[in-house]
Chains A and B, each alone.
Chain A
């Protein structure tokens, strides 16, 4: 069965510090991988996605993520966090063989302190 694990429920970083949010997945085929950000009371905004090709993908707002097949991971990174990055971050796996429905992780809540 497909699953997505985000092991960190909550992370606190100082503004200007680097950030890495972890995501591991379990899926038998080549996954479509996504990171979404959700601000309080809002919908989900796509940060970046991986379908194939270069395993390091660049997204919006200075985020990047690296697909590592051997580790079944797709960690999200940002070199310098801004206060406006405080939000909930969701990793998702999109199925390639049964349509576009996604499996989401439980999310990582990011707090940014001055």
Chain B
């Protein structure tokens, strides 16, 4: 899983600011998944993307959250106007098929 790169590792934002989380999938992987892990909970699926397409965003909150996976560059999870409840670890995974390789996550703290 060391091949999936997420940055930053830690991100601190004040309420109302924007948070941008980046994920570079493993080489050759065209599927990217974002998960959120709230304190003392398991990971919850947020969104599934392929290059330039959102395949499934059923786990994304309806407001303030968006994700993209452009033709070039990393996948971006964007959280606008962050609130304290957004504090969590956000994990990205990439996959060829049938198995996800996870990054080490971005830990977002909203103060």
* Number of residue pairs A-B, CB distance < 8 angstroms: 67
Contact between A100 and B1, CB atoms less than 8 A apart: no
Known: A100-B48, A105-B42. A46 touches B99 (CB 8 A): yes
Q: How far is the CA of A44 from the CA of B101 in the complex (A)?
A: 8
In angstroms, how far is the closest chain A Cβ from the Cβ of B71? 20
Alpha-carbon separation in the docked complex, A32 to B107 (Å): 28
Cβ of B52 under 8 Å from chain A: no
Cα A100 to Cα B31 in complex, Å, equals: 9
| Most chain B CB within a 10 A radius of its CB, from A51, A102, A103, A105 | A102
In the complex, B18 has a CB within 8 A of chain A = no
Chain A, Cβ-Cβ closest to B46: A101
CB within 8 Å for A94 and B98 given contacts A102-B43, A106-B41: yes
How far does the Cβ of B55 sit from chain A's closest Cβ, in whole Å? 6
Q: Tell whether A99 pairs with B55 under 8 Å between CB atoms, given A43-B103, A45-B1.
A: yes
Cross-chain contact of B56 among A46, A94, A99, A104 (Cβ < 8 A): A99
Are the CB atoms of A101 and B42 closer together than 8 Å? Answer: no
Are B104 and A43 in contact (CB-based, < 8 A)?
yes
A residues near B, CB below 8 A? 4, 6, 32, 34, 36, 41-46, 49, 51, 90, 92, 94, 98-107
8 interchain pairs, CB-CB under 8 A: A42-B105, A44-B1, A45-B1, A99-B48, A100-B100, A102-B33, A102-B35, A106-B40
Known: A36-B102, A101-B59, A102-B100. 17 other contacts (CB 8 A): A42-B105, A43-B102, A43-B104, A45-B1, A45-B102, A46-B1, A46-B101, A51-B98, A90-B43, A101-B45, A102-B35, A102-B43, A104-B43, A106-B40, A106-B42, A107-B40, A107-B41
> Top 8 closest A-B pairs, CB basis?
A104-B42, A43-B104, A44-B102, A101-B45, A104-B43, A106-B42, A43-B102, A100-B95
